[in-house]
Amino acid sequence: MENILNSQKGARFKHRIFTGSEIAYCQNRGRNASHHFAGRFAAKEAVKKAILSKGENQNPWFKKIEIQSRQDGAPIVRLPKPYQSTYHCECSISHDGDNAIAFA
């Protein structure tokens, strides 16, 4: 993730995938910003796959799925309007060195 964010197209990628509040959250983490972006990306991917595994025929955009944090740091999934009434999704994010994994 760090290589992607630091590339010439890093800013474009960031703004296509993450919401403004996700970008602010990750950038406020200082030197570990890329780890937080990686975790958020993994969570969005897990949520997207969970929705598609339920037979949904519309592929939700990454930017429409928002991963927020509770005060205790636990992730909260905010789904776009078309999915809010049908799906309830929770996720868990874990980091190990430069790697991030998430389950939804």
Q: Which tokens hold the place of 39?
A: 């975790």
- Tell me the whole-structure pTM to 2 decimals: 0.87
CB-count exposure of residue 50 (10 Å: 0-12, 13-18, 19+): middle
Domain 2-103: which topology? Ribosomal Protein L22; Chain A (3.90.470)
Over residues 70-95, the pLDDT tens digits come to 999 899 999 988 888 888 899 999 99
Cβ atoms of 46 and 103 closer than 8 Å: yes
Read off the pLDDT band of 104 (50, 70, 90).
very high
Over residues 12-69, the pLDDT tens digits come to 888 999 999 999 999 998 888 889 999 999 999 999 999 888 887 777 789 999 999 9
- Per-domain residue ranges for the chain? 2-103
